[in-house]
Structure 1
Amino acid sequence: MMSGDPLFYCIGLATILIIAIGKSAFGGGLAILGIPLLALVVSPVEAAIIVALELSLMDILALQRFGRASWSLPDLAWLLPGLAAGIALGYLVFVHVDARIVSLVIGVVTLLFTAHWFLKGRLAAAGAMPVRPGLALLAGASSGFTTFVAHAGGPPVAMYLLARGLDKTRLVGTTIVIFTLGNWLKLPPYLLLGLDNPGTLWNALVLAPAVPLGIWLGRIAHDRLDQKRLFFWCYVLLSTAAAKLTLDAALALLR
């Protein structure tokens, strides 16, 4: 059965709208808000299923807004195989890895990376790191591995692409392609969970209209933000996600 709680619709629609705007404006970064906000009105498991389903829809619509002309193919040629390999490795060693330690390491490294940019990189002359196949493979593999074992695949790829110094549209378009592959590879388990909870699927369907609106608004924001300001907000989102990841992992290890 669908939720009859008006608060669910208020919080749910606002949450999905915000995530969709972030997807289309910055390539992602706001999805980290999804489960904590939705968990205020539904169970955490149901929140995770809803977010996974909505993200998959966002990916489809965002790919239409950011077509092949916005993709950095030389980077994707190395990042995507690395991502797939990392997800496969995560599947193979999942039971042997402490996700809390993985999350903590990724969070701390990302915080150091963003801190360096805010302290020095933001003030340096504009530049771009060339495509580095080995580093791209490592970033993709790290992202795939961490997205499987700790649901924290964004930071490794974001660090690599931000260091590349791509123009704002190529940065977002390339990020969307990578997250689309990761999200769709993780979708089947969430769909199976949803089939056991039909009400969750109905709730996700009810919130779905917020997705195209958010993608449209996000693209408008993307087009209006200049390169410097968009990069600034990308780093803000990355550092916020890293701080939450580090805090959650540290608290989990202390329990």
Structure 2
Amino acid sequence: MSSEFTFYAVAVSAVIILGLAKGGFSGVGALAVPLFSLVTTPVRAAAIILPILIVQDVVGVWAFRHTFSRPVLALLLPTAAFGVLLGWGLAAYVPVAAVELIVGLISVLFGGSRLAKAWQHRATGVPHGPIPGKLYGAVCGIAAGFTSMVAHAGGPPFQLYAMRARLDRDHFIGTSAIFFAAINWVKVPAYFALGQFDRANLTVAAWLLPIAIGSTLAGVWLVRRVSGERFINIVYALMVLVGAKLIFDGLAGL
């Protein structure tokens, strides 16, 4: 099996995972960059994936353009933009492995506790309990922007706030789609500064775009056939799985 075939086989698998995430199965997308990094460097993997994410964002935002939470976006977007700036400035000093480990631990603990409560009390699709305050939201926003820039793991911090904001399935997906569409554009100048948008990387991204669009549409189709309660539990389960992967990567990198 040639190395080029292996490269594209892994790249296609990563893009399909991203498509499912952009279509609504939030959280699983954090597996894409670690998977792609098996056949190239993490920085190059992230650079190739970013233009693909931006195109996938268009599909996701359009599909859920009528269902999103303005208050959640108003709080999380400015703080996440600051987190991206912070991540860009501190990337050379903060080990990616340490960030992955912390985010992974938080994801496993939060997702696992929510799943346990759902199984114990047979909870409905919308989480109960008090809606978190603005300070909690600001911290989650900064963490989402920072981890998205440093480790491409912004999903769990975003979910830590959004899942407690009592959003139904479609509003959660729409808010997530708009949030990460905006954050991905914020990251573009940083990758230009890193010199990663060269002809070779952009060519690979262009070849993968049709698969990216198709897999995103497939994700939208699938998620709309899942009940609200089941969707919430799927997201929590994905948080645990993604968190476990980030913990493994973090420990391996330290």
Q: What TM-score do the two structures reach when normalised by structure 1?
A: 0.85
Match for 1:85: what amino acid? F
CA-atom RMSD in angstroms: 2.5
Report if the CA contact (8 A) 2:115-2:237 is conserved. Answer: no
CA 93–59 in structure 1, closer or farther in 2 if over 3 Å, else same: same
Match for 2:86: what amino acid? L
Report if the CA contact (8 A) 1:103-1:150 is conserved. Answer: yes
Q: Work out the CA distance in 2 between the residues paired with 1:10 and 1:102.
A: 28
Alignment-derived partner of residue 106 in structure 1: 103
* Structure 1 residue ranges without an equivalent (≥5): none
Q: Work out the CA distance in 2 between the residues paired with 1:143 and 1:89.
A: 11
Report if the CA contact (8 A) 1:49-1:191 is conserved. Answer: no
Alignment-derived partner of residue 189 in structure 2: 188
2:61 to 57, 60, 63: 63
- Structure that is richer in helix per residue: 1
CA 117–20 in structure 1, closer or farther in 2 if over 3 Å, else same: same
Match for 1:15: what amino acid? A
* Structure 2 residue ranges without an equivalent (≥5): none
Deviation at 1:95, TM superposition (A): 4.2
Deviations 1:35-78 (A, max 9, x none): 343345545443222212211111122111110x2111111111
Deviation at 1:194, TM superposition (A): 4.1
Report if the CA contact (8 A) 1:82-1:141 is conserved. Answer: yes
Q: Work out the CA distance in 2 between the residues paired with 1:49 and 1:141.
A: 22
CA 71–239 in structure 1, closer or farther in 2 if over 3 Å, else same: same
Alignment-derived partner of residue 251 in structure 2: 250
- 148-157 or 33-42: which moved more? 33-42
Alignment-derived partner of residue 165 in structure 2: 164
Q: Work out the CA distance in 2 between the residues paired with 1:149 and 1:133.
A: 24
Aligned length: 248
Deviation at 1:9, TM superposition (A): 4.1
CA 216–118 in structure 1, closer or farther in 2 if over 3 Å, else same: same
1:123 to 107, 120, 123: 120
Report if the CA contact (8 A) 1:94-1:149 is conserved. Answer: yes
Alignment-derived partner of residue 54 in structure 1: 52
What secondary structure does 2:167 align onto? coil
Q: What TM-score do the two structures reach when normalised by structure 2?
A: 0.86
Deviation at 1:99, TM superposition (A): 3.7
What secondary structure does 1:164 align onto? coil
Alignment-derived partner of residue 204 in structure 2: 203
Q: Work out the CA distance in 2 between the residues paired with 1:76 and 1:204.
A: 29
Q: Work out the CA distance in 2 between the residues paired with 1:38 and 1:130.
A: 37
Q: Work out the CA distance in 2 between the residues paired with 1:4 and 1:251.
A: 24
